[in-house]
Amino acid sequence: MGKQVSSGGEPLRILEDIAFSVQSGEALAIVGASGSGKSTLLGLLAGLDLPSAGSVRIGGQDIFALDEDQRARLRGEHVGFVFQSFQLLPALTALENVMLPLELAEAEQARQRSAALLERVGLGGRLHHYPRQLSGGEQQRVALARAFAPQPRLLLADEPTGNLDAVTGAAVIDLMFSMNVEQGTTLVLVTHDEALAGRCARRIRLAAGRMVGQD
């Protein structure tokens, strides 16, 4: 798989010759320096961006054979996201943020399921707080609960501790791995943190848009 854009009328290769597979339930880290193409690769895996060449298959389905609406539906049903910047909706409470993907999917018992997940991440007493009333670590735990709410087959995490201090970040990561095991989710984690990457079963290393190693 590759990604190429035009820069000043000249082709600029962001990713080239990327090829790997992830087994169901596996935890995979994508590591590399800033600018190596990690976040671009994650966007392609999610179907949020289109490759210049190649394909991405989730559960055997080539996601780029789907139109934009179909890809959005697949993401809603099977893919969870955790971002560095939390991406909570400021006008919604913690409970409402977690409920949102369930309500969009017209899932049953959305409120009860969301409240149980917030209890699971240690925020049972913060259901009706807005993001501005929560610390960074609490916001990321809400984001984790929201990501796991639809019971996704695949969780994509982009530098999930990038905006957290070391102690808070470690607690959030412990929680993410615990919930990942509980739900049997496949985890693909983008990070520059080698210690965090070491907690995954396998690592893929990028440099200048190319895969330069797997271990």
* pLDDT block averages, 10 residues each, the chain of length 215: 83 90 94 90 92 91 92 90 92 97 91 96 96 96 94 93 89 90 93 90 94 88
- CATH number belonging to domain 3-214: 3.40.50.300
pTM of the model: 0.90
Q: What is the pLDDT of residue 105?
A: 86
Q: What is the pLDDT of residue 140?
A: 93
Alpha-carbon distance 181 to 205, whole Å?
A: 24
Q: What is the pLDDT of residue 194?
A: 87
**Are the CB atoms for 190 and 162 separated by under 8 Å?**
no
Q: What is the pLDDT of residue 77?
A: 86
Pairing state between β 154-158 and 3-7: unpaired
Q: What is the pLDDT of residue 122?
A: 94
Going by C-beta distance under 8 Å and a sequence separation of 6 or more, which residues neighbour residue 168?
135, 136, 137, 140, 161
